[in-house]
Amino acid sequence: MAVQWALICHGLITLIVVVSFLCGQWPIFQGTPISSIHRFITFGAYQYFLKFVGAVFGDKGTNSILSVEYYCCDRPNPILQIIYLAILGSTYCIIVKTSFQYIPGYYLSGVHRYTSLLAVAIGILLFLLTSFSDPGTVTVDNVSQYLSVYPYDNVIYTKKECTTCKLPKPARSKHCSICNRCVARFDHHCGWMNNCIGERNTRYFLAFLLWHFLLCMYATVGIGLVLAGRLKELKIVYILTVYYGVENSFRSLAPHIVQWLLGSYNTQILLMVFLAIVSLLLAGFFAYHAKLCLTNTTTNETFKWQDYISWQKKLHEARASSAALKASINGMNGERKPRENKCKSFFRRSPLENTEAVVKSNVYDKGLLHNLYEVIFPVRLRASNSHTKSKSG
């Protein structure tokens, strides 16, 4: 039983750590242990580690750690790409070693030996496309074309020059400090791809997320069917009911079957838990980015709008507070007004509540189908293709 409980605890701890790391900053988790674990993982643990290194090795040790941090977090590097390939390769090898001996089986045909390899190969192809394709780099040669693609909304995007590239900044573009280039329709810099996600490779990034979600689900269901097949082939239910006298009901059989699975196929169970958690996280990431694409918004613009709306709300509140204070001072200095009814004054709205609501106005949202078409067939790519055709004609 010790092995079974160790596996259950391992699965729960893995789930809590992964959810805390990726989702701990969400509003729903504020003030919960998940939020505290997130802060510790992303900030606290590293700070304690730095203090420990400083205490043991002095400033030289701290500077060495900071230089490693700069290389890993602020410069283009293939570390996360290598980790991705290692995770994918090792997971596939473990599945081959532990589960392929049961394929073909009771529920799975032998074709899954080859479809699984094909599915992994397509995943790697999408990874390479996203990692090494041009995200939409703005250069001297194409800046004029990018400037004509999107208009400035004069709210979060205004006409200005990139202080680093010394080029006019097209609307929706951003200078990536890690890649040191301006990227059109900039979404974010993805460490896993060691590349920016922009106008020209957002479609590959979305396909990567969707395909890897399906790949993890395929592996989870496949391993589950392998285990279900072994249960059927070895006649475990029959043995439990006939030889051990266990009642033939789900409630009676389930604990015994789970115990047998954890004891005989603990590696497969652990893989299923890991792949199920990863598939849920990938589903969440895909849903978030799909929503952004369908509303023709980027991750960068989401943060820009949050900052703008927050600033506007503070500005309106300051103006309302100033107006209320001015009215109060004028009332004290001027003629004395008749005393207001206590009941009316109680229900009277505060001047701060009368401030106008700040609304997000996305001028780039042209409707669901048009937005989707724009992601699959980027505007700049279509413009360059038509320009090439007109030249050849």
How far apart (Å, rounded) are the C-alpha atoms in residues 80 and 94? 21
Would you report the helix, strand and coil content of the chain in percent, each value rounded to 5? 70, 5, 30
How far apart (Å, rounded) are the C-alpha atoms in residues 95 and 93? 5
In this predicted structure, what is the pLDDT of residue 190? Answer: 94
Sign of CA dihedral 27, 284, 365, 147: positive
Query: Is 90 exceeded by the pLDDT of residue 351?
Result: no
How far apart (Å, rounded) are the C-alpha atoms in residues 133 and 212? 19
CB atoms within 10 A of CB 181: 19
Q: What is the arithmetic mean of pLDDT over 196-222?
A: 96
Banded model confidence at residue 73, pLDDT cuts 50, 70, 90? confident
Q: What is the arithmetic mean of pLDDT over 21-45?
A: 83
List the beta bridge partners of residue 182.
175
CB atoms within 10 A of CB 17: 13
| Those residues with Cβ within 8 angstroms of residue 278's Cβ, 6 or more apart along the chain or in another chain | 216
Query: Is 70 exceeded by the pLDDT of residue 339?
Result: no
Amino acid sitting at position 83? I
Q: Which of 162, 190, 196, 216 is catalytic?
A: 190
Q: What is the arithmetic mean of pLDDT over 33-41?
A: 88
Q: What average pLDDT does the structure give for the chain?
A: 86
- Distance between alpha carbon 311 and the CA centroid of its chain, in Å? 26
Work out the percent of the chain whose per-residue pLDDT is above 70: 87
- Answer yes or no: 72 catalytic: no
**Ranges 20-34, 333-347, 357-371: which has the least confidence:** 333-347
| Those residues with Cβ within 8 angstroms of residue 204's Cβ, 6 or more apart along the chain or in another chain | 126, 129, 130, 133
How far apart (Å, rounded) are the C-alpha atoms in residues 291 and 299? 11
**Ranges 50-54, 97-101, 116-120, 312-316: which has the least confidence:** 312-316
How far apart (Å, rounded) are the C-alpha atoms in residues 123 and 125? 5
Sign of CA dihedral 284, 287, 290, 295: negative
How far apart (Å, rounded) are the C-alpha atoms in residues 133 and 195? 8
Q: What is the pLDDT of residues 239-264, one digit of tens each?
A: 989 888 888 888 888 888 888 888 88
Q: What is the pLDDT of residues 186-200, one digit of tens each?
A: 999 999 999 999 999
For residue 260, give the H/E element and its range.
helix 250-264
In degrees and rounded to multiples of 5, residue 341 shows phi and psi of: -60, 135
How far apart (Å, rounded) are the C-alpha atoms in residues 207 and 147? 27
Query: Is 80 exceeded by the pLDDT of residue 223?
Result: yes
Q: What is the pLDDT of residues 273-301, one digit of tens each?
A: 899 989 998 999 999 999 999 999 999 99
For residue 387, give the H/E element and its range.
helix 379-392
Amino acid sitting at position 217? M
In this predicted structure, what is the pLDDT of residue 243? Answer: 87
DSSP state of 309: H
Q: What is the pLDDT of residues 150-194, one digit of tens each?
A: 999 999 999 999 999 999 999 999 999 999 999 999 999 999 999
| Those residues with Cβ within 8 angstroms of residue 319's Cβ, 6 or more apart along the chain or in another chain | 355
